Chains A and B, each alone.
Chain A
Amino acid sequence: MTPSGSDVRLLTDPFDPAHELGAFTRVHPEAGGVVSFLGQVRAGDEVEALELQHYEPLTLPAMKDLAERVRKRWELEGLLVIHRSGVMEPGDPIVLVAAAARHRRDAFAAADYAMDHLKSESWFWKREKADGEWRWIEPRAQDFEDIARWG
């Protein structure tokens, strides 16, 4: 990764968010602030496992397009977007977004915008396993309301 570029990855294996965030902040010492968001599989709700399915020709290219849009909208030193695909268990990291900026407002807004758009627009299909049965998850109305905030 070049210091000025965006690091956008779609992973089919588990990742270590602390390690990734550490590496990201080290390559952006000029940033005055780094805002990160980590999404993980929620425990409880009797969910035993979560599976995210992606479609190779669309999913990563769309994540990269989103990163480009974020970079154009805010003044950032760096942007990190890591998203899991495949089967995960409660507590497993799903998504890590980090925005590094000279000023914290840009970093907060960029991370928030990236997450809202990842949640509502990304090419992922999700199913949950409970009581040994897999069930596909439909889109949430809240995700569309979140994205509408950005106009």
Chain B
Amino acid sequence: MHARAELVSSGEKNSLSVKLVFLGRLEDLAGGSSRKVPLAPSIDAVLDGLDPALASALREPRVKLAVNGILLQDTDAPVLKDGDEIAFLPPVSGG
């Protein structure tokens, strides 16, 4: 019984989430280079849960997205799962 109680409480602590990574100037807008947010089924749903000003910056067409290190094409709409990492990549400024 004791073990089960512990499982439940650790389940609470590690609730399902995705990690957002903000590159370049998006880091300043987001107030940090990354953050964990509750898991939502789609990227749109994740963005809807953010501050509207940040969400609109992340939705700019010039901002590319990568999920778990794989660059998304414009039409991709991946189903998110626990632990996914979504990176928001503004235009690169070159090496």
Contact = CB atoms under 8 A, between A and B. Distances in A.
Interface of A: 39, 52-53, 55, 57-58, 83, 94-95, 118-127, 136-140, 143
A119 B94 contact: yes
Contact of B89 (A52, A123, A126): A123
Interface stretch (B4-12, B53-61, B63-71): B63-71
Interface residues of B, number: 19
A140 B95 CA distance: 11
Given A58-B69, A58-B71, A136-B28, A53 B94 contact: no
A118 B95 contact: yes
Contacts of A143: 94
A57 B28 contact: no
B69 A139 contact: no
Contacts of B28: 136
Contact of A53 (B23, B71, B91): B23
Interface in B58-95: 66, 68-69, 71, 85, 87, 89-95
Nearest to A134: B28
A52 B85 CA distance: 21
A118 B66 CA distance: 20
